[in-house]
Amino acid sequence: MPTERSQTQASPPVWLATTFNSRSRTGSDNALSLPASSTADSADNGSRTNGATSQPSITANDFDPINVGDLTTADLAAIDILYAQNPSNGGPGTAWAANQSKLTDFVNGGGVLIVHDRFVSGMAAYLPGSPGTFVQIYTSSIDVLDDTTSVTQGPAGVITDASLDGGNFSAHGYVVAGSVPPGSVGIIIFGSNPDQLVTYAYPYGSGWVIYSTIPLDFYLNKTGQPASNLRFIYAPNVVFFANELRLGVAP
């Protein structure tokens, strides 16, 4: 089983980019973009990944990965979905903080932001709106709360209560279900507790945020379980679900 190495420094988020092509399962011709990786693989930190390891999440949905460059200078008006991974237990870093208002405006204007995060405890301050009460605590057991969304019943396969268990760790905490905005969709939970959300989506303005305490960046270049289920089923399904939110066909 892969073991996470300690990562407490303020590492920059991992970004990725893609656009729709004509093979999209949605049948839509609208453009989809996710931000490009600004973090390289590091020989002394096996938990960091770059955009290359995240690309299967996109290509599995018949989307074409592209590089939109530095988030600070990127034109988010031309982007529909942003895909971010925070690989630091100590916070999302200065680049995220510097672009926080830009990300908020992006979601408010109709964009979808996907965030997989290790920090958890203070991450609510970096997300649009009032996403809820965040608690950092580690577990190797996470279950499905809502099996009707494409995150768990998607084109890449099915996620069950056992699919994502056994990680070190499977989740870095939870969001208190009673604290999330109205209209939120809880999908994955901490252990079997429906009051503790691991992966959920919440509306903000005209857009959505998909937030998760799963340290996805760690698993995208790993084998075994739950890495394979995270890489080849969960992550592609999350991208597919984000596009459904964008198109207004989910939840």
| 79 within a domain of the structure (yes/no) | yes
| 7 within a domain of the structure (yes/no) | no
Q: What is the DSSP letter of 28?
A: -
| 180 within a domain of the structure (yes/no) | yes
Cβ distance 49 to 100 under 8 Å? no
| 4 within a domain of the structure (yes/no) | no
**Domain containing 77: what range?**
14-247
* Max CA pair span of the chain: 43
| 120 within a domain of the structure (yes/no) | yes
| 3 within a domain of the structure (yes/no) | no
The residue ranges of DSSP E strands in the chain, in sequence order, are 14-16, 18-20, 63-65, 81-86, 112-117, 134-139, 142-144, 153-154, 157-158, 171-176, 185-190, 196-204, 207-212
The CATH number covering residue 119 comes to 3.40.50
| 152 within a domain of the structure (yes/no) | yes
Which comes out higher in pLDDT, residue 69 or 235?
A: 235
Cβ distance 206 to 109 under 8 Å? yes
pTM above 0.85, yes or no: no
The two three-digit tokens of residue 17, written as one number: 């980019």
Cβ partners under 8 Å of residue 182, min gap 6: none
Q: How far apart are the C-alpha atoms of 114 and 13, rounded to whole Å? A: 12
Sign of CA dihedral 3, 97, 19, 29: positive
Over residues 45-96, the pLDDT tens digits come to: 233 334 556 666 766 766 666 565 677 887 888 778 888 888 899 998 888 8
Please state, as a whole number, how many other Cβ atoms lie within 10 Å of the Cβ of residue 70: 12
What pLDDT score was predicted for residue 55?
62
Query: Of 115, 151, 146, which is closest to residue 237 (Cα–Cα)?
Result: 151
| 9 within a domain of the structure (yes/no) | no
124: Cα within 13 Å, side-chain hemisphere: 16
What pLDDT score was predicted for residue 37?
30
Helix 235-247 with 51-59: angle, nearest 10 deg: 60
Phi, psi of 227 (to 5 degrees): -55, -45
Least confident of 90-94, 120-124, 152-156, 191-195: 90-94
What is the number of structural domains in the chain? 1
What pLDDT score was predicted for residue 8?
45
Q: End-to-end distance of the chain based on CA atoms, in angstroms? A: 34
